[in-house]
């Protein structure tokens, strides 16, 4: 860690901070320049957090040398983590496509859509029972009944499932119903929820928050992993920017960036990332091309009647077409499409 | 609501949608143009939500005429809402300053800081017992012990208190300990929490999410108010932008904008809004000047030792100076500084 | 165009605006609702611009139905525009890769780099003679000498060239030296420059501004096309967002979005789009996968010595490897790599 | 400057870079840590720019210690710069209000508006002769005829004027017609124009670009000052963010931030900063309250007929009211309203 002192800082300030650094077990360094005095601390600087050097009235800035996350980093673990979702691998050389409606609306809807996506080649089904909605007047999900439907359809079709959990109180019920948890963008920094999921042994798909930097995202993953659950899949799903033509700005550059920084698998959700049905297939291919390990795609057997996100949901025929065209992009990226069971 | 059809849409599509609109009890309108067919629906268009017209494959765009929130709007209630926080009014002509540390760290810290801010003219104390922190390795708050300290200090000093609630499970404990709830930026769209607070009769300070538009923010307030709790105070605390010189970009324009759109009181948090101690006093004055109803300011009796946010915490002397200088700005804006009980 | 009146607007306001609409040759529509009066204007609403209805004190909002650009739109011209850059086609089924250093630094550097990229399969060379630099203390380009080198190298290697023009006064010199103009992100809204390029008959690669929406970008292209030059290539090169891990956020979703809205070819610049050498190959493949018509890639024969943008420049060996791997992605997207002359 | 090497960097890399640093006349520092080798360079690190250390394949990151601008910084010149615009001071204790229409539309319009704002207390008039417009189909300004009108009105009313210059070729004509140049947001990084204005001896109001960080903005000012013109006034006018309720997000925190970093005067343009007439007065007061040195406000004698920006232009009566209410905020901030001549 590098600590830059204000121009007006005196020798006592430098001495005080240097001895604090030494007391933490790090090697202190003194670099007196003509314009600024700069101090250094060599070693695992994460222990310096408790000194709160950035608070010091004579400190101009603090520049970390190391990333603030540890267990999720490639430096900590060099080889790719492969996560198993209900028997299907994702990560390493395995590419997994999970598809289904935004929300579980009825048994019939889940069955029809699940059959269609399974037949087209998806190796997992998605569907939300608890829906965080911007307006209190919108459909909020079927809750426990939705979880029950999801489980039934999963068993009937032999496909693993993923569904969103929005509160600690629901963790147990979701764990019983689905093959993996999804943490939505609005809950990426619900640290109580992340910690609870760290104590479970089912995979977690962690979606990037709409205003979250990649560093924030990896620190959120670190919450889960550091509490004991290594099976985290990062999901890029678009961020908020000034551009309003699409629902979000899909930050595909984050995929190779995170893959270089972390050993965790990375999925992409082109449905939320664009918000427009017609843009989902090209962005799904682009995600595979830049090294993603999987896709999360909204499909509905009848998008025009969908209770949420219909505008970004593919028709079954569009999804089937996409799966046919996708394979060459997955192969060219050195991966293989995972198959269920 | 205005519905623009795609160029390729035919007469049957228009007829189908027009009859759906009529079935919802709204007046349908047909506007066949040379380049596009445009449909209209006159009346309380919020009932059209269930038609999901945006999903329709022949619909190009849907343009609402009315705001999606209702009970929090000025159209619904023209006069200013005045909220009472532990006996102190905020809103209308009353301007309330709440100050204190980011986190409750100890009884001594809260007493020292509370005494200092009360003496300087604050009419409420803040302090977090539950701290959402970006890194799992940072101080996470004292929890129940923090709530106990907060309550004791509040009673001893005769000042109302506000503290953050981060989960439904904690609502009861926070209600017992504090005069008002704070919903933090990361929980602005924790709709389960908002709904729970809608069933309580204590005021809620609702902070704007880092990626939340003003419309998102007012819809979050609508969750609380529509469930039965009218005592919501909106808090602008900065948004995420490309500018990194400050911690956030304080969107002060949101203050007069929200005051025009809504009857709810609006506070400003210049501490999180800038992240830099020296910028807090000028931005506090600016907030008063543009019509805010109150301020939420971080003060610590010893910022250099603060366990969180020390860099943006005022020294007691700086806060005292600010309170002296602030009054003329509050007065010139047609308001009066509230005094405790 | 839809015009929503304020709740307090009276009948005279509606009548006045309706007669103004009629006077412009459009069909006026009156839609009196319970909560708002809404007016409509059917026809080519772009003529309404001169009414400035958004200024009217009784107008709440104005909602256009049609896009503000015309000649660059797919509605105006349905089939793909194919642009010819120095004999090489881009657009339609032709995919063109242009590579080279950020800046022309010397004859030797351009020759070495040009030879390397040509051998690897690039069908055009890039290199800036005029460099807009954030700091006045940075290298600003070789100017006319740079143009001379570019032309010589182009002729020697038989490869077309593209170079940036930053001012109307330089248009003639750049036209004489290069096969195509590049308008940089900082000049995307230099409307005087765009208009001047509209009067030339050489292709223009128009880079998206860092804060430009897709609509702003297409309107900038409309400046050039409406002045008489149809040969515009749009270039996505990243936008400014809150994410600081990469230099910019590459908005690849813009590629299929623009391809649907406009007939113009779309290139991607993954070098500026990420700012990090290692991310250029995966994002180049992703660009091809989502339907781009070409790539603009920074390569330097010795990036460590580059006078600008060395950090994002590929080594010749990396570029060669990329070209080998890229072809399958281009083919799978239904295009073919263009070859020079 | 601090240089962090990649984990795989060897001793030779460190030695090579250290000797390069020494060769530049700076003091090199070697800090071998357990996880990374860190190098330092003490002294005026701006000379290191030519080493391009960030390009080095073994360099992980480069962290500057000093700001990249120099002559505009408070460290270079501690006391406030006071600029004289046509006889009226701005900066230090002088607060200047410049008002007028967005564009010069006619002699009558400029006279009527100029008289109104002068009578109300403005000490300068604004009005654009060259208008950069997003669409090629919008009014583009009167050009030379506009400059002629501006000059005539200025002389008749005895008020200094400011007008935008958009290209080097127009600098001479604008210099002859106006008391000060305005560089618009879209030209903040038109470095050729900035350099040309550095060779003139008339003040320049430099508006912040829509995607420009404060550091970018101060570097743009450094272009002008380093070329010889010290009379630069910085203007905050809003930045592009995800919020669409207002035209831009006015970043008032930038005012005290820049005032701390630089000795240059800072103006605020609440008209472009919000885009909504009703928000201009509160934000003008907020600007004064947080320490701005002046305001740039759009006023039109008849906003409903304005050819551009009518929606954000004040009526003369609104401006008069604002000037009456503004004075107490200016006084409370320790400044005085400047009066013409």
pLDDT tens string A133-150 = 999 988 899 999 999 999
Residue D308 has pLDDT above 90, yes or no: no
Test A286 with C252 for CB contact under 8 angstroms.
yes
Nearest CA in chain A to B276: A55
Of the two residues B188 and B138, the one the predictor is more confident about is B188
> B43 pLDDT band (50/70/90 cuts)?
confident
Strand B37-42 to B27-32 pairing: antiparallel
pLDDT beyond 80 at B46: no
**What's the pLDDT score for residue D47?**
80
Name the token pair of D77: 């010149």
For residue C242, give the nearest of B34, B44, B241 by CB distance: B241
Measuring CA to CA, which residue among D205, D143, D152 is closest to residue D174?
Answer: D143
User: For A158-269, where are the alpha helices, taking DSSP H only?
Assistant: 171-177, 191-198, 214-226, 254-261
Say how far residue A136 (Cα) sits from the centre of its chain. 26
pLDDT at A195: 97
Instruction: Classify residue D215 by burial, with Cβ atoms within 10 Å: 0-12, 13-18, 19+.
Output: middle
Chain A CB contacts of B209 under 8 Å are 211
Asked if B249 reaches chain A (Cβ–Cβ under 8 Å), the answer is no
- Count the residues in chain A: 341
Query: Which helix H or strand E contains D261, and what residues bound it?
Result: helix D254-261
Which residues in chain A have their CB less than 8 angstroms from residue D215's CB? none
Quick one: which of B140, B116, B118, B113 has its CA closest to B128?
A: B140
* Cα first-last separation, chain C: 48
Q: Which chain A residue has the Cα nearest residue B222? A: A136
**Residue to test with chain A: of D5, D14, D31, most A Cβ within 10 A:** D31
Among the partner-chain residues D215, D252, D328, the one whose CB lies closest to the CB of B252 is D252
Which residue in A149, A148, A144, A150 sits closest to A163, CA to CA? A150
Model confidence at B341: pLDDT above 80: no
Parallel/antiparallel/unpaired status of strands C27-32 and C37-42: antiparallel
Which residue is closest to D241 within chain A, CA to CA?
A: A242
What CATH homologous superfamily does A83-337 map to?
Aldolase class I (3.20.20.70)
pLDDT digits (tens, 9 = 90+) for C9-38: 999 999 999 999 999 888 898 888 878 899
Query: What's the average model confidence in pLDDT over D201-210?
Result: 97
Other CB atoms within a 10 A radius of the CB of residue D8 amount to 9
- For residue D326, give the chain B residue with the closest CA: B332
User: Whole-angstrom Cα distance, residue C263 to residue C251?
Assistant: 19
> Do the domains D83-337 and D2-63 match in fold?
no
Mean pLDDT of D267-290: 97
CATH class of the domain at A2-63: alpha beta
Whether the CB of C64 is below 8 Å from some CB of chain B: the reply is no
pTM: 0.96
Q: So what's the pLDDT on residue A308?
A: 86
Which positions in chain B touch D215 (Cβ < 8 Å)? 245
Q: What is the mean pLDDT of residues B78-92?
A: 97
User: How far is the first Cα of chain A from the last one, in angstroms, to the nearest whole number?
Assistant: 48
Chain A residues touching B68 at Cβ < 8 A: 135, 137
Looking at residue D341, its pLDDT comes to 67
Find the mean pLDDT for residues B320-339: 97
- Nearest 5°: CA angle at C135, between C134 and C140? 85
Q: Is D218 at the interface with chain B, CB within 8 A? A: no
* ipTM score over 0.90, yes or no: yes
- D-interface mutation test, from B240, B287, B289, most D Cβ less than 10 A away: B289
| Tokens read off for A175 | 């764990």
pLDDT digits (tens, 9 = 90+) for C84-111: 999 999 999 999 999 999 999 999 999 9
What residue segments make up the domains of chain B, in order of their start?
2-63, 83-337
Token readout for D80 is 């406030």
D285 to chain B, closest Cα gap in Å: 6
Nearest CA in chain D to A243: D242
Q: Is the pLDDT of residue A130 over 90?
A: yes
Number of C-beta neighbours around residue C192 at 10 A: 18
Average pLDDT over residues B135-158: 95
Q: At residue B253, does pLDDT exceed 70?
A: yes
Three-state SS at C205? strand
Residue A282 to residue C256, Cβ atoms within 8 A? yes
Inter-chain CB proximity D2 and A7 less than 8 Å = no
**DSSP label of A242:** S
Q: What percent of chain D has pLDDT over 70?
A: 100
3-state secondary structure of A82: coil
pLDDT at A341: 67
Point out the residues of chain C with pLDDT beneath 50. Answer: none
Interface contacts A/B by beta carbons within 8 Å: 113
Provide long-range contacts, Cβ within 8 A and 24+ apart, for C180-184.
C180/C85, C180/C86, C180/C124, C180/C204, C180/C205, C180/C233, C181/C205, C182/C126, C182/C128, C182/C207, C182/C235, C183/C207, C184/C132
**DSSP annotation of C91:** B
Q: Indicate the DSSP class of residue A305.
A: G
At C39 the pLDDT is: 92
Q: Which residue of C has its CA nearest to A274?
A: C253
Contact B236, B206 (CB under 8 A): no
Question: Phi and psi of C224, rounded to 5°?
Answer: -70, -50
Cβ of residue A223 closer than 8 Å to a chain B Cβ = yes
pLDDT at B340: 82
Cβ of B339 under 8 Å from any chain A Cβ?
Answer: no
Contact at 8 Å (CB) between A36 and A190?
A: no
Q: Which of A172-181, B323-332, D14-23 has the lowest mean pLDDT?
A: D14-23
Structure tokens at C39: 């007016």
Instruction: Count CB atoms within 10 A of the CB of residue C320.
Output: 16
The shortest C-alpha distance from C54 to chain A (Å) reads: 20
Q: Do C329 and A251 touch (CB under 8 A)?
A: no
D75 touching chain A per CB within 8 A: yes
Of A2, A240, A241, the CB nearest to D63: A2
């Amino acid at each position: 860690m590098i600590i830059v002192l204000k121009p007006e800082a005196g020798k006592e300030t430098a001495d005080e901070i240097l001895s604090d650094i030494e007391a933490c077990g790090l090697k202190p360094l003194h670099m007196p320049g003509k314009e600024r005095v700069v101090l250094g601390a060599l070693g695992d600087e994460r222990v310096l957090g408790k000194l709160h050097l950035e608070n010091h009235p004579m400190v101009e800035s603090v520049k970390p040398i190391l990333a603030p996350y540890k267990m999720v980093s490639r430096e900590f673990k060099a080889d790719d983590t492969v996560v198993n979702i209900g028997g299907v691998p994702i990560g390493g050389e395995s590419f997994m496509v999970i598809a289904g409606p935004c929300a579980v609306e009825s048994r019939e809807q889940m069955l029809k859509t699940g059959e269609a996506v399974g037949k087209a080649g998806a190796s997992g089904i998605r569907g939300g029972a608890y829906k965080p909605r911007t307006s209190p007047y919108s459909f909020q999900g079927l809750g426990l009944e939705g979880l029950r439907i999801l489980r039934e359809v999963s068993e009937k079709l032999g496909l693993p499932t993923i569904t969103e959990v929005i509160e600690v109180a629901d963790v147990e019920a979701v764990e019983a119903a689905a093959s993996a948890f999804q943490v939505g963008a609005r809950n990426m920094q619900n640290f109580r929820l992340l910690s609870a999921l760290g104590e479970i042994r089912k995979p977690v798909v962690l979606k990037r928050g709409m205003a979250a930097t990649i560093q924030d995202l990896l620190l959120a993953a670190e919450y889960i992993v550091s509490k004991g659950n290594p099976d985290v899949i990062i999901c890029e799903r678009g961020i908020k920017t000034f551009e309003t033509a699409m629902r979000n700005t899909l930050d595909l550059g984050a995929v190779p960036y995170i893959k270089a920084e972390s050993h965790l698998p990375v999925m992409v959700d082109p449905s939320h990332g664009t918000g427009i049905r017609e843009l989902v297939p090209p962005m799904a291919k682009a995600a595979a091309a830049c090294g993603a390990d999987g896709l999360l795609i909204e499909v509905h057997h009848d998008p025009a009647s969908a209770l949420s996100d219909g505008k970004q949901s593919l028709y079954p025929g569009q999804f089937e077409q996409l799966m046919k065209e996708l394979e060459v992009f997955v192969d060219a990226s050195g991966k293989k499409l995972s198959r269920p069971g």
